[in-house]
Structure 1
Amino acid sequence: MSDTAEKTTIAANFLRNIVADDLDSGKCQTIVTRFPPEPNGYLHIGHAKSICLNFGLARDFNGRCHLRFDDTNPAKEDVEYTESIKESVRWLGFDWGNHLYYASNYFDQLYDWAEYLIGAGKAYIDDQTADLIRVNRGTLTEPGAESPFRDRTVDENLDLFRRMRAGEFPDGAKVLRAKIDMASPNMNLRDPVIYRILHATHPHAGDKWCIYPMYDFAHGQSDALEGITHSICTLEFEDHKPLYEWFLENLPVPAKPRQYEFARLNLSYAVMSKRKLLQLVQDGDVSGWDDPRMPTLVGLRRRGYTPESIRSFCETIGVGRSDSWIDMSILEESVRSDLNERAPRAMAVLRPLKLVLDNYPEGAAEDFMVANHPQKPDLGSRTVPFCRELWIEQDDFMEEPVKGFKRLSPGMEVRLRNAYIIKCTHVVKDEKGTITEIHCSYDPDTKSGMPGSERKVKGVIHWVSAPHALTAEVRLYDRLFSVPNPSGDDWKSQINPNSVELLFGCKLEQSLATVEPETRFQFERNGYFCADRVDSAPGKPVFNRTVTLRDSWTK
């Protein structure tokens, strides 16, 4: 990890104490955790918290962490998602080594254990429809109604279950339910469904199966088979814990892992539901899962976030038991702080306005040696050409300056960054009255770094040499939603209409012409930018704004 990440203050993490106590007491000899994503979508920043937690605990306590795909629903799964998940975990800086697993690897064993429950009289085949099963589960204040098929004999249940496996029945015709307690105050113990019929090709297991275990049945037993010592999940699974333990107690599993719950990550100005993220993609509200406005890891990566900044963010927010909202500004500040240390500087004019130095010799040019980072001499320097015609930002000139304006205006002096002090003499306008050129004089005795250049002026602006400039596309990304907690049936109406602005005529210094995709810079006075990992190429760069230099949403 980088020095930046290592210096991050580690916030409270109650699970560290649990793991340390279990090791000290001898309850376990080696810590084994797991990250168990469903391959039905792309990972988002909430998953990053779980990845950093599970892999981080294993790393810090000399244990191991497994990557296990919870692939129990082939109707929603895809190899594309599986591969993207692997890539994102690696990008974050973690590796599972030889410990890559799939729940589908255990389908034979899970099936045998399902027959074991049937043989013990603790599971039965139910012919009721899914809607009827749902209705008969009861409510939080009323017990559920027992299925009329609950008292089938063991032999009948085994026969029907084997015929289900053989593909004799259509989808939805029958399910296998655990026989627990229809009057339990915990709804999850009211005879939960543990197998359903689904005639679908499995991305990993192929066409071997037409019945598939439910998550609650597969999860704990997969943990047991892998020798997981600490099964860590978010708080919404707390009510599932008694069921997790019931299966472990009633099956001949080789180990009995324990489940621990922590608060999930709720991030403002974003949605964290896979269903909603998928809807944004399918409805064309974003360009894809890797749209730089998305809270997905592929989206954050494309926007220019570093893995170090995301790990730092996860350490900063800590791990607790109480649900809370984390403001987007904390995530933004994590990447801002990281890039401030590592990103070289460059000059880019996003909304160009021509500036002409009338007293600078025509056809002349000179080079300035400019440091790539003001506090990091090890990042070296670059050559920046200078000549009579330059580009400056439109916002850096005001013909009738307002009070407090310290940049360029008629008769006013500013310093061109790393170059000379200039004074505006007049402007040129087109027939519509739009300013097309700023004309200035320069003071040759104020060259930066030369004796006599110490004269001070209030404003400093950046620039790019016009004949040497690289014309490029720059994409200004902002938060996808305009409200902190987008919700309700009309949640999509709360999308920020200004979440992206495309600029096609930006003028960049020539040193940026050959940058590789995913190279990050601070464009001086404009923010932190990254060469797009999809559309950018050496000779034709496309830059995404990762984050502004300061939090503009607090204004």
Structure 2
Amino acid sequence: MEANKSSAPAVAAGRSVAPNFVTDIIDRDIASGAVQRVVTRFPPEPNGYLHIGHAKAICLDFGVASDYGGITYLRFDDTNPVTEDPEYVEAIQRDVRWLGFEWHDVRHASDYFAQLHEYALRLIEAGDAYVDSLTEDQIREYRGSVTEPGRPSPFRDRSISENVELFARMRAGEFGPGEHVLRAKIDMAAANMKMRDPILYRIVDATHYRTGNEWAVYPMYDFAHPLSDAIEGVTHSLCTLEFENNRDIYDWLVERLVDGQQPHQYEFARLVLDYTVVSKRKLIRLVREGVVNGWDDPRMPTISALRRKGVRPEAIREFTNRIGVAKANSRTDLALLDSSVRDDLNAVAPRVMAVLEPLKLVLTNLPEGTRTELDAPYWPPDVPGTGSRKLQLTREVYIERSDFAEEPSKGFKRLAPGRAVRLRHGYVVRLDEVVKDAAGEVVELRAHAFTDSLGTNPPDVKVWAALHWVSASDGVPMTARLFERLFTVPDPDGAEGDFLDHVNPDALREVRGYVEPSVLCDAPDTRYQFERVGYFWRDPVDDRGRDGLVFNRIVPLKDARSKQAADRAADAVADRVAGRAPHKAPGRATGGASEREAGRPTTRAEATTPAPEATRARPAKTAFDPAALSPAQRERYVTLAAEHGLGEHDAAVLAQNDALYDFFARATAAGAAPRSAATWVVQDVARLLKDGGAAAQGAQRLTPEGLAELTGLVDAGTVTVRVAKELFAELVETGASPAALVAARGLERVTDDGAVLAVIEGVLTEHPAELAAYRGGKAGLAGFFIGQVMRATAGKADPEVVKRLVAEALAGDRE
């Protein structure tokens, strides 16, 4: 199947966004005269860094406005002073500009606090809002369930004058958080539970980074969002599908408060990439628990990480167009992103040579000191581009160790004893001798150079391949960072156990090699294709390491497997956009290319323990369709997703399983945070019930109240997740109180620097070989030491404290 027949609609010349259902809506609105000028907005909350999913929304919001001659506002939804920070504001602006977009104006929801407050008063005075004095738990209880209508609050019928007075006192700061809230008066029996008198304003005791302590009450997202759209004159408010149920409250508010042209909300499918997580909570865990080295670690899906990795904004914009804009959520294969990056770099990355795992090759018939100057073009014939560089072919060069085989297997077509290969741009050479050390390790190859073979093959000599090389005397030492998928399973969110259980231990590999000296004359931000290896650029943070330049691999070179995976991903995109049933490749589970298809094991265990294909492959989780639920299940799903903020997978599991849902409901009633409770119920409680036998008996000893106590300890930072896992097992075995176990066994999280430093000192002393390797340049071993410290403290040490102190100890050791 041709790739160009398996893609989303092409982008017309002069357009940023390919035709889709959103552009169809805009076309109709313009044709009917309903809209004179398209106005969109990108409204991030400044409480974290943007990721690849945000890039899709940015490209759509800014792209459609540009295509139709309209404007886009960059609006910061800063309605929660507890979590927001100017650092994130600056980072978001930097990311949007880097992607190639410019906003009409920067706005903040806080710019409109006074106007939003006036809107709230209008609702009160119209009898459409009231001050409620129920507690948070009581509000949840009164709201009802998916099968039972809600009950009106006893404060629902307060007089307008009393509501105005109470709201004014809330505004003046006379009450504490939770004492009162302002709620819309809609319908406590509504099928959409978002419409059961949603909260519009709450009291927050925190200093806002822009307005200081001017306000004691803050609008909820569902209140601020539609009215900010109206204030800015937004015509098309584009949101991802998780906000679909919020549209009813959006329309309710707009109809009552907005005169003239009213904004409308439209939902599109969010971007879900295989082998990736984008949940802010999970990204924070990756950073805080030392799995990655910050938000811009190239293994992360953040825009800052992609930028540091070397991906260009042009590639991300092309990728968002390739995946298209659909109405149903689904998963996207990473191969499609890699393909977009490769296609972009192919035309802009000059070709140079680098050897990542060097093996010395001596051309024995060349005299010592021989230097043959070669003119090597930067570009292959099929890529437009001019220019070349001078290379010196010397008596000793490095080739890739993987390009040599002493006993070549069938199909190996590179260098072996007696074979001849061409050194790229240089001579044909024949391998005559293999030199080994005392341990039998190959340390050097010796070959004969056919000095009359420049531009031609020697007569009667079979040339097996052309190999890249670097001069041993002229090559520049460098470290290459080779990045792989951060997770070993396509859907870390839906896999069994904690998502961190599926982190790929080989997601970062650092190798020491050499690169040709021509790169020293280039700008530091030059992207290269290291011939036969992949696309690289110099790390902008660690431009020079302890042992030379540092290069990040942006993406590997395309091979047959990656092309097939990209084609399959493009097929899936075309099916989603066109609303067709998905293609199914023979012998492959729908949901994206797997590591197994690329010839690599998905876990270390699989590398040594093969299993029958019939039972080995675990199909990727298919996209969840709420329409497949019964009416009662759908109501439950809506409540879980919209009211409790659960992810699609967790909400779907609980909606369809009465036992799990009941356990979850009782746990939250006992005080567990909904998201925390859902994670444990869906992953751990569900496994107990599924396993049966003794596990099922353990589930009977495990009470929702006990789980609520356990999640409270984790959320409060009293214990680490690792200790919590052990406590959960104890709960199942005995039903004992987690808090009592923590107190009796001294399992509290260790945060004291002195105690952790003592453990670190012992770990460094016990592992002299690893410490020597770290000193020798294997920076990746920092993670090993962190793991050893966590193990030595039985998981009780605060991971952030461990990471910081290990880094300081290793830095001090180097000094």
Q: How high is the TM-score relative to the length of structure 2?
A: 0.65
Please report how far the alpha carbon of residue 305 of structure 1 lies from its aligned counterpart in structure 2 after TM superposition: 1.2
- Greater Cα shift, 413-422 or 160-169: 160-169
Query: Mean Cα displacement is larger for which, 39-48 or 11-20?
Result: 11-20
Counterparts of 1:532 and 1:351 in 2: how far apart (Å)? 19
Match of 2:443 in 1: 436
1:75 and 2:82 matched: yes
Structure 1 equivalent of residue 168 of structure 2 = 162
Gaps of 5+ in 1: none
Assess if the C-alpha contact under 8 Å between 1:198 and 1:210 holds in 2: yes
Residue 451 of structure 1 and its aligned partner are, at CA, apart by 9.5
In the aligned structure 2, how far is the partner of 1:181 from the partner of 1:280?
A: 41
CA distance in 2, matches of 1:518, 1:285: 27
Q: Cα–Cα, structure 1 residues 6 and 379, in superposed 2: closer, same or farther, change >3 Å? A: farther
Alignment partners' CA distance in 2, 1:208 and 1:454 = 88
Q: Given residue 72 of structure 2, which amino acid in structure 1 is its aligned partner?
A: C
Paired position in structure 2 for 1:355: 361
1:95/1:379 CA distance change after superposition, 3 Å: farther
Question: Identity of counterpart residues, as a percentage?
Answer: 52
1:349-498 pair list within 5 angstroms: 349-375=355-381, 376=383, 378-448=385-455, 457-488=463-494, 489-498=497-506
Q: What amino acid does structure 1 have at the position aligned with 2:407?
A: E
* Closer/same/farther in 2, CA of residues 300 and 346 from structure 1, 3 Å limit: same
- Partner SS state of residue 512, structure 1: helix
Query: 1:421, CA displacement in angstroms?
Result: 0.4
**Residues in 2 aligned to 1:171 and 1:333: alpha-carbon distance in whole angstroms:** 50
Deviation of 1:205 after TM superposition, in Å, equals: 2.1
1:452 Cα offset (Å): 7.1
Structure 1 residue 276 and structure 2 residue 293: aligned? Answer: no
Give the distance between the partners of 2:232 and 2:522, measured in 1 at CA. 45
Query: Alpha-carbon deviation of 1:86?
Result: 0.7
1:549 maps to which of 554, 557, 566: 557
Distance 1:447 1:209, change over 3 A: same
Q: Distance in 1 between matches of 2:461 and 2:110?
A: 73
- Alpha-carbon distance between aligned partners in 1 of 2:23 and 2:11, rounded to the nearest angstrom: 18
Provide Cα deviations, 1:369-412, integer angstroms capped at 9, x if missing partner: 11111134534111112100101111111111111211111111
Contact 2:352 2:531 in 1 (8 A): yes
- Greater relative contact order structure (CA < 8 Å, 6+ sep): 1
What CA distance in whole angstroms lies between the structure 1 residues aligned with 2:19 and 2:11?
Answer: 16
Distance in 2 between residues matched to 1:269 and 1:390, nearest whole Å: 39
SS of residue paired to 1:261: strand
Structure 1 position 294, deviation (Å): 1.0
Match of 1:23 among 9, 27, 30: 30
Quick check: 1:532 aligned with 2:535?
Answer: no
Aligned to 2:91: 84
What's 1:501 paired with?
509
Unaligned runs of 5+ in 2: 1-9, 563-594, 599-815
Q: What is the alpha-carbon distance in structure 1 between the residues aligned to residue 460 and residue 34 of structure 2?
A: 69
Structure-to-structure mapping, 1:4-153, within 5 angstroms: 13-97=20-104, 99-153=105-159
Q: Counterparts of 1:232-311 in structure 2 under 5 Å?
A: 232-253=238-259, 255-311=261-317
Q: Deviations over 1:162-182 (max 9, x none)?
A: 111111111222111111111
User: TM-score, length-normalised on structure 1?
Assistant: 0.95
1:206 deviates by 2.2
C-alpha contact 1:5 1:309 (8 A) present in aligned 2: no
Distance apart, 1:254 and its partner CA: 5.6
Greater percentage in strand: 1
The offset of 1:54, in angstroms, is 1.0
SS of the aligned residue for 2:485 comes to coil
CA offsets 1:86-119 (integer angstroms, 9 cap, x no match): 111111111004x111111000100111111111
Q: 1:380 to 1:455 in 2, by over 3 A?
A: farther
Amino acid at match of 1:482: T
Partner AA of 2:514 in structure 1? K
Alpha-carbon shift at residue 547 of structure 1 (Å): 1.1
Structure 1 residues 433-458: Cα deviation after superposition (integer angstroms, max 9, x where no partner): 1111111110001013x797997612
Q: Give the number of the structure whose residues are more often helix, by fraction.
A: 2
Aligned equivalents of 1:529, 1:85: Cα separation in 2? 26
Structure 1 residue 519 displacement after superposition: 2.2
Aligned-CA RMSD value: 2.1
Among candidates 308, 320, 324, match of residue 326 of structure 2: 320
Q: For 1:327 and 1:415, locate their aligned partners in 2 and report how far apart those are by CA, in whole Å.
A: 37
Deviation of 1:223 after TM superposition, in Å, equals 0.4
User: Following the alignment from structure 1 to structure 2, what is the Cα–Cα distance between the partners of residues 21 and 89?
Assistant: 29
- Contact (CA 8 Å) 2:230, 2:258: kept in 1 or not? no
Equivalent residues of 1:5, 1:311 under 8 A apart: no
Alpha-carbon contact 2:17-2:64 (below 8 Å) kept? no
